[in-house]
Amino acid sequence: MTDYDLERYLTVRSAYGGSLGPDGRLAFLLDTTGTGQVWTVDEPGGWPTQRTFYDEPVSFVSFSPEQREFAFGMDEGGNERMQLYRLDETGQVLNWTDRPAAKHRWGGWSHDGEQFAFASNRRDESVFDVYVQGRDSRDPELVFEGDGWYSVGPWSPDDDALVLHQAHSSFDHDLSVLSLATRERVELTAETSDVRYASPQWGPAGEWLYLVTDEGADTLYLARIDPETGDLETVREGGRWNVGRVTVDESGLVVYSRNVDGYTDLTVAELDSETGTLTDRQTPDVPGNVAGGVSVGPDGEQFAITSTGRQRNANVSVVDVTALSEVPSGADGAHTGDTGSPPGTDAVTRWTYAATAGIPPETFIGPELVRYESFDGREIPAYLSLPEEPPSGGVPVIVDIHGGPESQRRPSFGGLSQYFLSQGYALFEPNVRGSTGYGRAYTHLDDVENRMDSVRDIGAGLDWLATREAIDSDRAVAKGGSYGGFMVLAALTEFPDRWAAGVDIVGIANFVTFLENTGSWRQELREAEYGSLAEDREFLESISPVTNADRIEAPLFVLHGANDPRVPVGEAEQIAAEVESQGIPVELLVFEDEGHGIAKLDNQIEAYTQVVAFLDDHV
C-alpha cells in the first residue's frame, strides 16, 4: 500500500474539452481550483492562464472561429439548467441567456462567429426549441418550435441552414435540416424507427452530411446522407465495434474513432469533396486508452484531442495532421516508420500538464480486460484491477457498476479508484447486458421486462470472482451511481448474503417515483428504456429496490445531491428510511449544492472520506 491519502488522490487534476482558437491558442477546462474552469495556453507546456473564476463547474468551452473570444456554459448547484456565456479578450463576461429556470444546449458558432445557435426548453419545460442569437445580443430569435427532445447541430458551410437532431429514445433518433431563410424543414430520416443518427457534420461543400448511424446494422458505422433527399451511403463499416463521434472540417480533414472493447482506435483521414473518397493517414500515437473531444484548428492542419487512461489522468494533446503520412490503399494504418517508432509519434504534442498531486504516475494500476459467463451462457466483458502483491487469502473487491444503462465503463482515469487499489481493494467493473459499445442487440437485452437479467449478470460476476485466488469474495462491496445505484440496490436485494456493504450514489430506488419526478423533458426518453407508468406500473413497482428492501442485509451508504434533476433526492431518502427501518446500518449524505453526482472537490473529499470510513468499519 502507498502512503498517499485519499485527498491526494482526489486532487489529481484533469485537463479536458480543448478548443483551438483562430490564433492557435488552446482553451480547455482544468479543475485545479476544485471545479472545472476555463484556462488558456499559448504553446505546448506553456504556463496556463485562468479565464473563469466560479464556484460552479464550467460545462464546455468553444473558441469563436474568428474573434479572440469564446463561449462557455455553466449551471447552478448541479441543476443542469445550463446558461450560455461569452468571454471576450478583455475578460468581460456576457450572460447571453440569463434564464436560470431553463436549460440551454449549445449548438455552435456560425462560420463568421457573428451568431450562435442553441436549443432550449424556455417556452415549455418538456420540449426544446431552437434559437439563433447574435454574439453581441441577449435577444435570441426563435427559428424552430419543437415538440420533443431536440438539439441543434452544425451550421451549413454558407450559414443558411442548421441540422436538427431529435431523440425519441436513446436508440431512436431523427435528423432534419432547417432553412434559416424560409424556416422550412426537410426531414431526412422520418421513415426510419429505432435507428441512431449521431454526430452530424457537413461536408466541405455542403453536398453531404457525414454522421454515425446503425441503420441496417447492429453497430454504428460512418455514413453520409444527402441533405436534400435523405439518401444514405456507407463510408466506413463499423464491423464488430461502434464508430464513435466524427469530426469533418471544411478543409477536408476527417477524424473519427472506433470503440474497441472500451479502448479508442483513432482514424485520421482526408476527404476529397469532388469524389467523396477518404484517404487514411498514419494513426496518431495519442497517449492513453480513451480519447475524444476533437477540435480542429485553423486551416485544418492540426486538431486538439483529450485523452486519458486508467494509468493517465486526462490531458489535451494537439495532433499535427501535416506530419501524418498517407496510408497506401489497403494498408491498415498501423505500420511503423523507418525508425520503428510507433506510427504518428512525432505528430502528437502534449499541450497540458494537469498535475498528479505529487503521486508518481507509475504507481497507478491498470486493468485486465476479462470475460465471464452469465446465467444464460452469454459472455459479459469486465475490467479487473488488482492491488500490488495481493496477500494470501485474497483482497476485498469493489464491484463498481456504471450508470446509463445505455453507457459503458471504459478504462479512463479515476482518482478514487486508484486510492482504493492503493489501499488493497480489487476493482471489478462489469459491462453488463444493456451496456453500449457491444452492439444494438446487447444493449436491448435488459429492456423493460428483462431488467433484472442485468442484475443476474452481477450475480454471475460474483460467482466468477469467487474462483479467483486473489479475491476474497466474502468481502465484496457493491458500488455504483445513477442507474448503477439502482443496480447496487437491486443486487443487495437479489443476493443479500453475498455483500459486505453497498454504496449507492444518486441511484434509483423506486422506478415509479423516479419517472413521476424526473425532469419533464426526460420522462418520455426514460420510459422508452424502463417501461411506462401507464403500461408497466405494476412491473416497475415489483422490481424497485424499495419494494424489496426487507431483503437487504448489508450495511448501506447513500449519497445524493439535493438539486438532482435526473434522479430526484427523494429516491435516496426513500431507500435510506426503508433500510433503516429494517435495522440495517445506513448512512445518508446529501449535498445541498450538488446535482446528479458530486462535482466539487470539497464535497468529494467530504463524501468519500465518509465512504472510506464506512467501508473500513464494515469490510
CA distances from 153 to 73, 109, 245 (A): 17, 10, 13
Band (202; pLDDT cuts 50, 70, 90) = very high
Compute the mean pLDDT over every residue in the chain, rounded to the nearest whole number.
92
- pLDDT of residue 80 exceeding 60: yes
Burial class (CB in 10 A: 0-12, 13-18, 19+), 531: buried
pLDDT > 70: what percent of the chain? 97
Nearest alpha carbon to residue 12 among 307, 361, 362, 291: 361
pLDDT confidence of residue 337 = 34
User: What angle, rounded to 10 degrees, do the helices at 415-422 and 601-618 form?
Assistant: 30
Give ∠ CA 324-327-331 in degrees, rounded to 5: 145
Q: How far apart are CA 334 and CA 327, in angstroms?
A: 9
Q: How far apart are CA 280 and CA 346, in angstroms?
A: 17
Query: What would the mean pLDDT of 83-93 be, rounded to a whole number?
Result: 95
3-state secondary structure 455-479: HHHHHHHHHHHCCCCCEEEEEEEEE
The residue that leads in pLDDT, 519 or 242, is 242
- pLDDT of residue 334 exceeding 50: no
Q: How far apart are CA 466 and CA 453, in angstroms?
A: 20
User: What pLDDT digit, counting tens, does each position of 150-177 carry?
Assistant: 999 899 999 999 999 999 888 889 999 9
- pLDDT of residue 338 exceeding 50: no
CA distances from 530 to 138, 514, 543 (A): 39, 11, 11
Q: In this structure, which amino acid lies at residue 536?
A: D
> What kind and span of H or E run contains 487?
helix 483-494
Query: What would the mean pLDDT of 356-362 be, rounded to a whole number?
Result: 95
The residue that leads in pLDDT, 390 or 556, is 556
pLDDT confidence of residue 166 = 93
Cell numbers standing for residue 351: 499541450
- pLDDT of residue 579 exceeding 70: yes
pLDDT confidence of residue 253 = 95
pLDDT confidence of residue 302 = 94
Range 417-444 burial, b when 16+ CB lie within 10 A, else e: bbbbbbbebbbbbbbbbbbbbbbbebbb
pLDDT confidence of residue 335 = 34
Q: How far apart are CA 61 and CA 178, in angstroms?
A: 25
User: What pLDDT digit, counting tens, does each position of 590-606 carry?
Assistant: 999 999 999 999 999 99
pLDDT > 90: what percent of the chain? 80
Band (1; pLDDT cuts 50, 70, 90) = low
pLDDT confidence of residue 326 = 82
Cβ contact 545:490 at 8 Å: yes
Instruction: Using CA atoms of 320, 322, 328, 333 in order, give the dihedral in degrees to the nearest 10.
Output: 0
User: What pLDDT digit, counting tens, does each position of 480-502 carry?
Assistant: 999 999 999 999 999 999 999 99
User: What pLDDT digit, counting tens, does each position of 10-59 carry?
Assistant: 999 999 999 999 999 999 999 999 999 999 999 999 999 999 999 999 99
pLDDT confidence of residue 577 = 96
Look at the block and give the residue holding cell 468499519: 617
User: What pLDDT digit, counting tens, does each position of 90-140 carry?
Assistant: 999 999 999 999 999 999 999 999 999 999 999 999 999 999 999 999 999
Q: Where do the H-state alpha helices sit in 509-584?
A: 511-517, 523-530, 533-543, 570-581
| Three-state SS at 230 | coil
Residue 447: CB partners within 8 Å, gap ≥ 6? 434, 529
Nearest alpha carbon to residue 154 among 145, 163, 144: 163
Query: What would the mean pLDDT of 403-431 be, rounded to a whole number?
Result: 94
pLDDT confidence of residue 329 = 54
Instruction: Using CA atoms of 478, 383, 379, 391 in order, give the dihedral in degrees to the nearest 10.
Output: -70
- pLDDT of residue 330 exceeding 50: no
pLDDT confidence of residue 553 = 96
Identify whether 100 is preceded by a cis peptide bond (ω within 30 of 0).
Answer: no
What are the E-state strand segments in 386-494? 395-401, 426-430, 471-481
Architecture of the domain whose range is 369-618: 3-Layer(aba) Sandwich (3.40)
Query: What would the mean pLDDT of 457-478 be, rounded to a whole number?
Result: 96
Burial class (CB in 10 A: 0-12, 13-18, 19+), 533: middle
Band (517; pLDDT cuts 50, 70, 90) = confident
